[in-house]
Structure 1
């Protein structure tokens, strides 16, 4: 049998629904099941990509792409200005800013809570973080050295029960010589601003003070504990930062990048994305193997036609080709329909999601829980290709049993009763 004839017979069998309404229905159901599975997989992966990017941008709002710190734990950088200038002169380094981080307890009218206090230089800080553009009240420039001003995350200010102009007390441990009992230091700060980055990791525990006010609390005067960097390429930030430090030829410096600081968050998202893909792939597999039932019914219905083809000289291999082509055609129809639907939904998720929320009366991602006003989505060609090729592979596997069953039809046994 020539291949064009195999294609012709396969297409004729696909139209066999005109003789059997049930087979036609199962054909349509198989294609629809595959299409919906592929579309759902593409949309879910796109939303997971968008959520990962949104979380990354918000986490980096106060973390920066990388940080240069002393290789010795707790060592200060008393002469940080030349270091900042040297780093900013390196290729692919956009900006650098000094910082000091202190762990302590903040007390306000609403209670006491643990906090991470970051000492910054406002003129430098606005170049490496998004806090200056995320101010809800006040301004980053309100932090002035020696005035004991503090900027709080929005959730942190709510926990402490304070607003602009209110006073909070900061309790920090004071380093003491070895062998002596550790002591603490209590300092009053006036709230000069409130920021909201949309991540509880920042808004719930972080606060900013001027570098000159934070350095004495950390045990040194006007010295930084590290330099934060903004790079041209966030994904190449670890390599860029390490190359910049290597060019400075200073063995006393080490690099800490954003992938290390937020590793647990992004690992959790990657695992969640993988599990969602596996679960949805099982749904696609079930839909793909519905094609088995369709082809088995066609084989049963067309036993007489298969027997006639065999008597006309068709080999078992030719019969296998007919049913593999038929199953592949169903798989292609479902895959192409699903890809088209999934791509359209992913590109229009900002419009489709609110419409579904209004119809069904629920929110996909409540704003008070996820700090998102819209469902994020980012369509990646790799996800689309993986979904399409995956369903085509499953469909090809699903055609094997029915095709072999058709090839095993004995013409003499069938035609004896015709």
Structure 2
């Protein structure tokens, strides 16, 4: 507070002008309370955003790499080039399929995302293997027809370890009568909780090879997940990935993929 401002405040607070002193006191107090409230709200929101960021990045990749158009074949070559870049800690090809999940005894269905993953590489890219409430990641690695699902989804379906779930996908079979939705079954071998509703209520992990087999897919992927040594390097690495892979590919960092949360 400069000398002039301090003099004006002290002068206004002198008892000889009771009403004006009181009014000025209330005004100054209001400013103090307002600034304090703003600081507190800002601190709370910053802490909330940091918590969301931590949970989000523990459950998903720092960067997602996909083809701009067409099927993503020869992904091994792209993955090798990405792994050689500075700041890259791990990579994992994945297949993404939107599904409706049901279970025996439950008439309602839950919308979910089936992600075909490599159980070993998943350990390099996300913390989901460490977030299991029930089950064991090693069991998932060995159970080809097994899936790991979010806790809220498990509650909605009324399932636990050993139960079967049915997944209905629009990626169906072509017949003379049109496309028939494909229905496949998996056995629940693990239930996780990461603290993000979108994952806990709608994510299903299965072996990528088993997903290909059950859904009649060839040796293709939806994209490649990338984990970095520091998420703050995402923009830098994103540009490097597009540079080494060429114009047929697009890389999106975690901020771009979650604009609604960090704008």
TM > 0.5: yes
- Structure 2 counterpart of 1:93, from 88, 93, 96: 88
Aligned position for 2:152: 155
- Matching residue within 237, 249, 252 for 2:234: 237
Deviation at 1:64, TM superposition (A): 1.0
2:14 is aligned to 16
Is residue 60 from structure 1 mapped to residue 46 from structure 2 by the alignment? Answer: no
- Counterpart-to-counterpart distance in 1, 2:238 and 2:141: 29
Q: What is the aligned partner in structure 2 of residue 142 from structure 1?
A: 139
SS in 2 for 1:126: helix
Given the superposition, is the C-alpha separation of residues 93 and 160 from structure 1 closer, same or farther in structure 2, using an over 3 Å criterion?
same
The match for 1:124 is 121
Task: State the 1:97 CA deviation.
Answer: 0.9
Cα distance in 2 for partners of 1:214, 1:242 equals 31
- Report the counterpart of residue 76 of structure 1 in structure 2: 72
Q: How does 1:183-262 map to 2 (within 5 A)?
A: 183-248=180-245, 250-262=246-258
Offset at 1:196? 0.8
- What is the CA-CA distance between 1:145 and the residue it aligns to? 6.5
Q: Quick one: structure 1 residues 12 and 177, their matched pair in 2 at CA, closer, same or farther if it must change by over 3 Å?
A: closer
> Residue 72 of structure 1: SS of its match in structure 2?
coil
Q: Using the alignment, how far apart are the partners of 1:20 and 1:192 within structure 2?
A: 77
**1:156-211, Cα deviation, whole Å (9 max, x unpaired):** 00000001111111222335569861122222211111111112111111111111
State the distance in 2 between where 1:12 and 1:255 align: 60
Larger Rg: 1
Distance change >3 Å, CA 67–CA 30, structure 1 → 2: same
Counterpart CA distance in 2 for 1:33 and 1:224 is 59
Relative distance call for 1:180 and 1:227 in structure 2 (3 A) is farther
Structure in which a larger fraction of residues adopt helix: 1
Is the contact made by 2:88 and 2:226 (CA closer than 8 Å) also made in structure 1?
yes
Q: Sort the Cα spacing of 1:10 and 1:91 in 2 relative to 1 into closer, same or farther, 3 A.
A: same
| Residue 105 in structure 1 maps to residue 100 in structure 2 | yes
In the aligned structure 2, how far is the partner of 1:124 from the partner of 1:7? 63
Are the equivalent residues in 2 in contact too, given 1:175–1:219 (CA < 8 A)?
no
Residues 146 and 220 of structure 1: CA distance in aligned 2, closer, same or farther (over 3 Å): farther
| Cα 1:241–1:218 shift into 2, 3 Å | farther
More strand by share: 2
Cα distance, 1:71 vs structure 2: 2.3
Cα drift, residue 112 of structure 1: 1.8
Q: Which runs of 5+ in 1 are unaligned?
A: 268-418
- For normalisation by structure 2, the TM-score amounts to 0.86
| Structure-2 separation of matches of 1:103 and 1:7 | 63
What count of residue pairs does the alignment treat as equivalent? 259
Distance 1:11 1:70, change over 3 A: closer
Q: CA RMSD in A?
A: 2.7
* CA distance 1:11–1:239, shift in 2 (3 Å): closer
Alignment of 1:164-179 (within 5 A): 164-176=161-173
- CA–CA distance in structure 1, aligned partners of residues 21 and 176 of structure 2: 85
SS of the residue corresponding to residue 158 of structure 1 reads: helix
Q: 1:15 to 1:127 in 2, by over 3 A?
A: same
In 1, the alpha carbon distance for the partners of 2:197 and 2:211 equals 23
Q: Distance in 2 between matches of 1:184 and 1:7?
A: 74
